[in-house]
Amino acid sequence: MELKVDNTTKILLGAIALGLFLNASNIFIDKAHANDWDVVVELNKSNVKIDRMQENLNIIDKNVRVIEKIIDEAKEDIIDEIKKKS
Protein backbone atom coordinates (compact mmCIF):
# COMPACT_ATOMS: atom_id res chain seq x y z
CA MET A 1 0.00 0.00 0.00
CA GLU A 2 1.47 3.28 -1.05
CA LEU A 3 0.68 6.52 0.76
CA LYS A 4 0.33 9.43 -1.60
CA VAL A 5 0.94 12.84 -0.04
CA ASP A 6 0.54 16.13 -1.84
CA ASN A 7 2.90 19.10 -1.42
CA THR A 8 0.64 20.96 1.05
CA THR A 9 0.59 17.97 3.39
CA LYS A 10 4.38 17.64 3.14
CA ILE A 11 4.78 21.32 4.06
CA LEU A 12 2.39 21.00 7.00
CA LEU A 13 4.12 17.86 8.29
CA GLY A 14 7.50 19.57 7.87
CA ALA A 15 6.27 22.61 9.82
CA ILE A 16 4.97 20.37 12.62
CA ALA A 17 8.27 18.46 12.72
CA LEU A 18 10.21 21.73 12.80
CA GLY A 19 8.03 23.05 15.64
CA LEU A 20 8.56 19.88 17.66
CA PHE A 21 12.30 20.05 17.07
CA LEU A 22 12.50 23.70 18.14
CA ASN A 23 10.41 22.99 21.23
CA ALA A 24 12.68 20.09 22.19
CA SER A 25 15.79 22.21 21.65
CA ASN A 26 14.30 24.95 23.87
CA ILE A 27 13.86 22.44 26.68
CA PHE A 28 17.50 21.37 26.42
CA ILE A 29 18.72 24.96 26.19
CA ASP A 30 16.66 25.90 29.27
CA LYS A 31 18.18 23.01 31.18
CA ALA A 32 21.67 24.11 30.14
CA HIS A 33 20.99 27.64 31.38
CA ALA A 34 19.51 26.26 34.59
CA ASN A 35 22.76 24.39 35.20
CA ASP A 36 24.72 27.60 34.64
CA TRP A 37 22.35 29.39 37.00
CA ASP A 38 22.89 26.69 39.63
CA VAL A 39 26.62 27.24 39.33
CA VAL A 40 26.15 30.99 39.79
CA VAL A 41 23.98 30.41 42.86
CA GLU A 42 26.56 28.05 44.37
CA LEU A 43 29.34 30.56 43.67
CA ASN A 44 27.33 33.28 45.39
CA LYS A 45 26.79 31.01 48.39
CA SER A 46 30.52 30.33 48.49
CA ASN A 47 31.28 34.04 48.28
CA VAL A 48 28.91 34.71 51.18
CA LYS A 49 30.66 32.01 53.22
CA ILE A 50 34.05 33.50 52.35
CA ASP A 51 32.82 36.97 53.35
CA ARG A 52 31.61 35.64 56.71
CA MET A 53 34.91 33.87 57.26
CA GLN A 54 36.76 37.10 56.46
CA GLU A 55 34.58 39.01 58.92
CA ASN A 56 35.32 36.40 61.59
CA LEU A 57 39.04 36.62 60.86
CA ASN A 58 38.87 40.41 61.20
CA ILE A 59 37.14 40.06 64.58
CA ILE A 60 39.75 37.55 65.72
CA ASP A 61 42.53 39.88 64.55
CA LYS A 62 41.04 42.77 66.55
CA ASN A 63 40.74 40.57 69.63
CA VAL A 64 44.36 39.44 69.27
CA ARG A 65 45.51 43.07 69.09
CA VAL A 66 43.53 43.89 72.25
CA ILE A 67 45.07 40.92 74.06
CA GLU A 68 48.55 41.97 72.90
CA LYS A 69 47.95 45.46 74.36
CA ILE A 70 46.78 43.97 77.65
CA ILE A 71 49.86 41.73 77.79
CA ASP A 72 52.20 44.64 76.96
CA GLU A 73 50.62 46.80 79.68
CA ALA A 74 50.83 43.96 82.19
CA LYS A 75 54.47 43.42 81.26
CA GLU A 76 55.27 47.12 81.80
CA ASP A 77 53.44 47.06 85.15
CA ILE A 78 55.43 44.02 86.29
CA ILE A 79 58.71 45.63 85.20
CA ASP A 80 57.79 48.84 87.09
CA GLU A 81 56.95 46.86 90.25
CA ILE A 82 60.22 44.94 90.01
CA LYS A 83 62.16 48.22 89.63
CA LYS A 84 60.39 49.71 92.66
CA LYS A 85 61.36 46.77 94.83
CA SER A 86 64.96 46.79 93.68
CA distances from 31 to 20, 34, 75, 86 (A): 17, 5, 65, 82
Q: How far apart are the first and last CA of the chain?
A: 123
Give 1's DSSP letter: -
Give pLDDT tens digits along the chain (86 positions). 455 667 787 788 888 888 878 776 665 555 555 566 677 777 888 888 899 999 999 999 999 999 999 999 999 999 999 999 87
Residue 11 lies in a domain: no
Instruction: Give this prediction's pTM.
Output: 0.48
Specify the pLDDT at position 33: 59
Contacts of 13 (CB under 8 A, 6+ apart): 5
Residue 34 lies in a domain: no
Residue 63 lies in a domain: yes
Residue 25 lies in a domain: no
